[in-house]
Structure 1
Amino acid sequence: MLKEYRNILVINLMHLGDLMLVTPVLRTLRANYPQARITLLADKKLRDLVEYNPHLDECLLLDKKGEDNHPLAFCKFIMKVRARHYDLVINLHRNERASALAAFSGGGQIVGYAKPGFSLLFDGVMANEHFIKHQVEAHFDVLRKFLGVEKIDDAGLEMTIPEAAQHKADRLWQETFTQEAKVVAFNIGASWLTKRWIKEYFAQCADRLIKRGYHVAFFGGPMDIDLVESCIDDMKERESDHLKVFTGKVSLGVLAGLLRRCCLFLTTDSGPMHVGVAMNVPIVTMFGSSPVTGFYPYDGKDVLVKTPEACHPCRIHECPKEGAEHMACMKNIPVETVMEYVDELLEKFGGAPAYKLPLHPGDYKCRVIDLGNGIAPS
């Protein structure tokens, strides 16, 4: 018999991808506590991802880089949290700011991941096991261990696009592409340099697709603009009218609205990759420094190409190797291999837009192509 909770706070203050990986927990909490008020505390800049999530009653937003980014403001924010008298607080990322907010939240029960020190004020602390299981499954373990939850309602990653953002995406698509256009999305940036496949390789893929009649659309945030421009400079088809650039020009909501119309997403391990999963677009991704087990695209139709390098997964943000060995993890994922799986998925799904593809509930383990041993583990 589950203990009754009436006022639940879930905390995740990390990046785009981390927040997307929390969404299955929100659905499961709603399934187990249908009468509870469920609030998500997240970074204000990511509000488009979660503000209209149907399993939430409220989003509490912290302006991490703005008005809440100094000690006095942060203390005031903690007091705002305490005033809401949550009887359950679940922290789903082990960073200092989230750990502090959970620890001093005044929650009746506080569980989840925590930094040492702050963990002393938690009722239950979980080690994050994303090296041996997917992050989504690790989050479910928090609910199982500390709340006794047995009913896991997993519909994969979810995002409800704000209506205004969807209208803007639809209008932008109609202004940019013909009705019959088959569009392959590219995301070449990532928060770590070691998560980025080689930009010249992306350029070669884009050239091949354009020559075959596909349209290529580059996405990414403002921080990716220079990288995308440099990649396009390496393209032979850079003057083609089948090449479009949305990098730094659209909100997260509009990004999602555009991705759902694409027929494939070629991407790094990044936040947009997880948005693509939620939009049901077939994905081909390349993993160098990231642990595959914890962060693979959570969708059975997707393909992940894993580096053959023995240093995987280093989880180092910048490659310490020099010369020819610098970024060897990504250099040794060949264009020919990646394009083999791009072609396979394009053929399998017929170039249909993602929103027309069927869902497959429960099938969330992507195919991993392990170049280190030449086999594709199940």
Structure 2
Amino acid sequence: MPYKSILVINTMHIGDLLLITPALRTLRANYPQARISLLTDKTLADLVRENPCIDECLTIDKHGADKGLFALLRFIRRLRARHFDLVINLHRNERCSAITAFCGAKERIGYAQPGFGHFYTKCYPNLAMADTPKKLATKHQVTVHLDMLQKALGLKKIDDRGLEMTIPEAAEREAARLWQKMLDETAAAVRTSSSEQSDAATPRPVIAFNIGASWATKRWIDTYFAQCADQLIEEGYAVAFFGGPTDVPIVDACLAQMREKNSPHCHVFTGRVTLAVLAGLLSRCALMLTTDSGPMHIGVSQNLPLVTMFGASPVPTFYPYDARDVLLKTPEPCHPCGIHDCPKQGDEHMACMKKIPVEEVMKYVHELLGKYGGKAARELPRENADEKGQHACRIVEL
């Protein structure tokens, strides 16, 4: 059916939003003449605002003007006035389900909370979000989205080029300014150190560290991150810590354990930049050492090779969507638990993360740095699929 206006909805987390970008590209490939709108949360809009596959980015202020039942009803009324031909819900929560069910579109498809699906034209389960982590499908969330669209709409073409994010111009300028400021301050500090005089003129490749995560069970041990950072600085690299405001205490605790915390090659951006500026900074890094988190998916969107450690997270459905990347996990019987705090005590507390040793992580860090020459992500060819066109990362079970 030749739709004239399409609305795609995903108002949740950083990673969830970036994982729909292959679906946006696929919709554009199948409906080149349609006006495609994307509805997302106001705080996340910069991740998708410049996406070339959409015509406009609509926002909902979930924690402000659009908070509460009556505000949501007013918001839905405004959407009804747009008379969309097709609305696609790509997140199975109450708010997205309600908007899709009552937006007045001719066709309403996608995922839904129980009850709302009765008001859809076609409703499907999100096979990447089962009732318990043990029952999760073996397909990645991106693939589940694409399969659902193909089944619901009979699409003739799947155009999956991995995760994509175009950085807004203002954010790119700010990232460039902050990066140059970092380089200038490093060079000035190095020039005052007699032991590093020869290092002042040549900037070191920068390794991005994202050590925070929304759940404690997704975080690798801070002592281990500190050891990796020290080793990389001593080997001739620079490190830069990223993350949001809630990650500041986590990063501070890690820095306190580092020998090289006062090195001019140790930089901290945690809690200081927007998501869009973060993307610009990550595009200038050579590699990312990260937990399963929103910044991990931003790194993938910026073509940044990465090494990640998975604890509570289900690997098959949320791994970094890039064939170059490496994911490490342990064969704990409770993996993936999908819970926020580990209930075990003693040595078994957070065993899934404790049993991923620094030596193993650094082996793959060195492998990727050697393979890609320590070049900035933006200088690398965008080849994040394997020879079969698949985007599955390498999974190492220790």
Q: TM-score, normalized by length of structure 2?
A: 0.91
1:151 aligns with 2:151: no
Paired residues, number: 369
Contact 1:188 1:202 in 2 (8 A): yes
Contact 1:289 1:316 in 2 (8 A): yes
Q: Which residue matches 2:31?
A: 33
Per-residue CA deviations over 1:84-127 (Å, capped at 9, x if unaligned) read 11111110111111111111111111111110011111111212
1:277 aligns with 2:294: no
Residue from 356, 361, 370 that aligns with 2:397: 370
Cα distance between partner residues in 1 of 2:345 and 2:104: 49
Residue from 154, 164, 172 that aligns with 1:166: 172
The amino acid of 2:11's aligned partner reads L
Q: Which residue matches 1:375?
A: none
Greater shift in the superposed pair: 131-140 or 353-362 = 353-362
What secondary structure is seen at the aligned counterpart in 1 of 2:82? coil
1:58 aligns with 2:56: yes
Per-residue CA deviations over 1:125-184 (Å, capped at 9, x if unaligned) read 212222320000000011111100130011110000000100111111111026622100
Cα distance between partner residues in 2 of 1:50 and 1:213: 35
Q: Which residue matches 1:374?
A: none
The amino acid of 2:282's aligned partner reads L
1:102 aligns with 2:108: no
What secondary structure is seen at the aligned counterpart in 2 of 1:185? strand
Cα distance between partner residues in 2 of 1:223 and 1:67: 23
5+ residue gaps in structure 1? 372-378
Greater shift in the superposed pair: 362-371 or 243-252 = 362-371
Q: Which residue matches 2:196?
A: none
Residue from 183, 188, 194 that aligns with 2:206: 183
Contact 1:11 1:92 in 2 (8 A): yes
Q: How does 1:219-368 map to 2 (within 5 A)?
A: 219-360=242-383, 361=385, 362-368=389-395
Shift of 1:13: 1.0
Per-residue CA deviations over 1:287-340 (Å, capped at 9, x if unaligned) read 111111101111111000012211111111111212221111111111111111
1:86 aligns with 2:109: no
Cα distance between partner residues in 2 of 1:255 and 1:20: 14
Residue from 73, 77, 83 that aligns with 1:75: 73
The amino acid of 1:39's aligned partner reads S
Greater shift in the superposed pair: 312-321 or 32-41 = 312-321
The amino acid of 1:207's aligned partner reads D
Contact 1:91 1:112 in 2 (8 A): yes
The amino acid of 1:159's aligned partner reads M
What secondary structure is seen at the aligned counterpart in 1 of 2:220? coil
Q: Which residue matches 1:23?
A: 21
The amino acid of 1:297's aligned partner reads P
5+ residue gaps in structure 2? 129-135, 188-201
Contact 1:286 1:307 in 2 (8 A): no
Cα distance between partner residues in 1 of 2:119 and 2:359: 52
Q: How does 1:204-219 map to 2 (within 5 A)?
A: 204-219=227-242
What secondary structure is seen at the aligned counterpart in 2 of 1:146? helix
The amino acid of 2:226's aligned partner reads A
1:192 aligns with 2:215: yes
Across the aligned residues of Structure 1 and Structure 2, the Cα RMSD in angstroms comes to 1.0
The amino acid of 2:9's aligned partner reads I
What secondary structure is seen at the aligned counterpart in 1 of 2:37? strand
Q: TM-score, normalized by length of structure 1?
A: 0.96
Shift of 1:363: 4.0
What secondary structure is seen at the aligned counterpart in 2 of 1:320? coil
